Structure 1
């Protein structure tokens, strides 16, 4: 049974933008509403959205912050595309307090549709690109391909030029939440290491699922913070993923050299096979979840006495 003491949401960061000199134009907003729209004025953009679920009796003394991957939103942690409970549900069942981030220009976060503010073209991910990047093409993979539409439906456009905004937004989230554990996926896995380095007095542990964009070095003096990277199957079969894997190893070595306690788990070495990049959606997602939760349970100072 899940017993929460509080749920809610908030926005973090962003900035004010003023628009002037634009020509108003006629718009139709409904079958009974047509009016002139004036784009001139002041707007608040580039905020991150955070939804939280706080336990009445938490498993850990600090909450877990979930950071989605590129082209995705916090919805990726909810139900799987084929309708099984996702990691958010499992975390709440296990008594973990959770904050779920929709980063800048994703999901319910602050969006910017103003001309010339984000000059780059947004990128959308096709099913074909997803299948390649997520490693769905290998025999024995565990992603439920019959429900691929469920993953496609939650895939959103992304602007390559917002990475610095997203990185800072997660740092701002940590400052707002306070002491916490960070868990990030893919691009978000790189961001959690950036945030853990920048807010090292607040981050109690850092977990990244198949990250990319991980820092190559960290400033000395990390306070022994535990960190984990997790990789699935078929890594050696793919050139791009071999490179991501090698960079993650180098980042963990740099984390340890700076005073942290980093390690890596390769799921096939534990007998857990067939996992794609989308390990939190694969048909054995509960098995992967348990491995991550067991690791977190083993981190010093994480379990609440009693």
Structure 2
């Protein structure tokens, strides 16, 4: 049973831009509405969207912030592509207060369709690229391929040049929320380490699921903050993922050298075989989440004062 004291949402960050000197043009908005559109004016762009679910009796002293991966949105934490409850549902059932982020140019966040503001072209991920990057081609993988359409449907365009904007947006999110723990996936895994370093006085724990873009070093003086990276199966069989895992391990070493308390968990070492990059959607996604929750339960910064 889930008992929440409050739910809601808000936008964070962004900036104002002014468009001038553009020619109006005719647009058709519906079968009964055609008008001249003037693109000149003032716009607010590059805000992140955050939805929250706060428990009446929380499991932890601070909420957990979920950060999606590249080409995805906060929807990735909801139901799995084959219709099972996703991590958001399971976290709420476990008594965890949760904030779900849609970062800049993703999901319900503010997009920027203005010419010349974002200079690069958006990228879309095909099913074929997804299958390769997500390691769906290995025998024994546990992603429900019969439901691949459900993953394809939630895949959205991404702009390569917005990484710095996304990093700042997550930092702004943490400052808005206050003390919290961060859980990020893939590109989002690198972002949560960046944010945890930038606002280290507010982040009590940091978890990255198969991250890339993780920092190579951290300034000294991390206040014993717990950090975790998690990797699934078939890492050694894939050259790119071997490199990502090596860099993530080096980042954990740097985190510890700066005063933090970090570790890496490889699911096969726990007897959990077949997990892909999309471990929160794999057939054993509940088991993977249990590993994360068990780790959070041990974190000193997460404990409630009774």
Taking structure 2 as the reference length, the TM-score comes to 0.99
- Partner of residue 167, structure 1: 167
2:205 aligned with 1:197, yes or no?
Answer: no
Supply the RMSD in Å over aligned alpha carbons: 0.6
Distance 2:305 2:81 in 1: 36
Distance 1:225 1:300 in 2: 9
SS of 1:54's equivalent? strand
Preserved CA contact (<8 Å) 2:225 2:301: no
Please state how far the C-alpha of 1:303 moved relative to its aligned partner: 3.0
SS of 1:268's equivalent? helix
Distance 1:36 1:294 in 2: 58
SS of 1:155's equivalent? coil
Distance 2:190 2:275 in 1: 20
> How many aligned positions are there?
306
Distance 1:242 1:119 in 2: 32
2:188 aligned with 1:183, yes or no?
Answer: no
- Partner of residue 149, structure 1: 149
- Stretch of structure 1 that moved more, 80-89 or 293-302: 293-302
- Partner of residue 128, structure 1: 128
- Partner of residue 208, structure 1: 208
- Partner of residue 30, structure 2: 30
Distance 2:302 2:119 in 1: 44
Distance 1:186 1:43 in 2: 31
2:303 aligned with 1:303, yes or no?
Answer: yes
- 1:224-239 counterparts in 2 under 5 A? 224-239=224-239
Please state how far the C-alpha of 1:301 moved relative to its aligned partner: 4.0
- Partner of residue 105, structure 1: 105
| Structure 1 unmatched ranges of 5 or more | none
| Structure 2 unmatched ranges of 5 or more | none
- Partner of residue 285, structure 2: 285
2:54 aligned with 1:71, yes or no?
Answer: no
Distance 1:96 1:17 in 2: 38
Distance 1:173 1:95 in 2: 22
Please state how far the C-alpha of 1:302 moved relative to its aligned partner: 1.9
